[in-house]
Amino acid sequence: MAELVAEHERLRGHHARARGDDLRHLPVQQAQRGSRHRQQRGPSQRAAERAGEVTGFFIGREAANEAEVLNLAVMPKFRRQGDGRALLSAALEEIRSRGVQSVFLEVRESNLGAIAFYESFGFSKIGRRKIYYQDPEEAAINMEKKLTGPPG
Ligand SMILES: CC(C)(COP(=O)(O)OP(=O)(O)OC[C@H]1O[C@@H](n2cnc3c(N)ncnc32)[C@H](O)[C@@H]1OP(=O)(O)O)[C@@H](O)C(=O)NCCC(=O)NCCS
């Protein structure tokens, strides 16, 4: 799975701010909170498998009552077969069970497939970060899903 993550990071050309465990990448609302309220969990990850082969992975993290999707990818040959949906559904269910109220993520502005995927889960566009990604340089779309309503 480490190789799959590394390959996805390379393809994604993720901005340096998204690397490592520092809190600068976390949503603004969260970064502004006092450390007294911050209870950060280590990164959580899960993988999807078919016949012993890893087909995709999810990496996220939580602090206080907010969570963030850091990475989610399905191997190209397994896309549009429901693995991404299964991974994100399971992750959201677990996140919700811990009382998290909002989930945030960033996605490349040109990644219309992923944006459609997240919108199908009820994520909404809440902002745009200019020149957020490198290699190639591109804006990020910020998305949020609130978990305070009924599951879905
Ligand atoms: C985004 C991604 C994880 C989706 O995984 P997936 O396994 O292909 O998605 P699913 O098969 O579970 O799709 C669920 C639904 O999402 C939507 N969807 C998924 N991919 C889509 C696309 N390319 N275009 C439009 N809608 C899409 C559809 O509504 C789909 O349901 P349907 O197939 O019944 O129409 C996958 O395309 C991927 O790995 N992309 C590259 C990495 C990436 O961009 N990650 C997100 C940024 S972190």
Asked whether the predicted pLDDT for residue 33 surpasses 70, the reply is no
The residue among 74, 29, 82, 23 whose CA lies nearest residue 53 is: 74
Residue 36: pLDDT band by 50, 70, 90 thresholds? very low
Instruction: State percent of the chain over pLDDT 90.
Output: 67
Structure confidence at residue 152 (pLDDT): 64
Longest dimension (CA), the chain: 46
Judge if the beta carbon of residue 5 lies within 6 A of ligand 1: no
Nearest C-alpha to atom 11 of ligand 1 is from which residue? 80
Residue 106: active-site member: yes
Q: Quick one: tokens of 129? A: 């970060």
Judge if the beta carbon of residue 107 lies within 6 A of ligand 1: yes
The residue among 62, 75, 45, 135 whose CA lies nearest residue 101 is: 62
Mutate-to-test residue for ligand 1 from 4, 5, 80, highest number of ligand atoms within 8 A of CB? 80
- CATH number for 2-146: choose from 3.90.1150.220, 1.10.3470.10, 3.40.50.1860, 3.40.630.30: 3.40.630.30
Structure confidence at residue 43 (pLDDT): 77
Which of 13-22, 51-60, 67-76 has the weakest average pLDDT? 13-22
- Give the β-pairing of 124-133 and 138-146: antiparallel
* Amino acid at site 97: S
- ∠ CA 67-69-71, nearest 5°, is 155
Strand, helix or coil for residue 31? helix
pLDDT digits (tens, 9 = 90+) for 81-128: 999 999 999 999 999 999 999 999 999 999 999 999 999 999 999 999
Structure confidence at residue 23 (pLDDT): 31
* Amino acid at site 4: L
Give the chain's mean pLDDT: 82
Judge if the beta carbon of residue 113 lies within 6 A of ligand 1: yes
The residue among 148 and 86 whose pLDDT is bigger is 86
Asked whether the predicted pLDDT for residue 25 surpasses 50, the reply is no
pTM here is 0.82
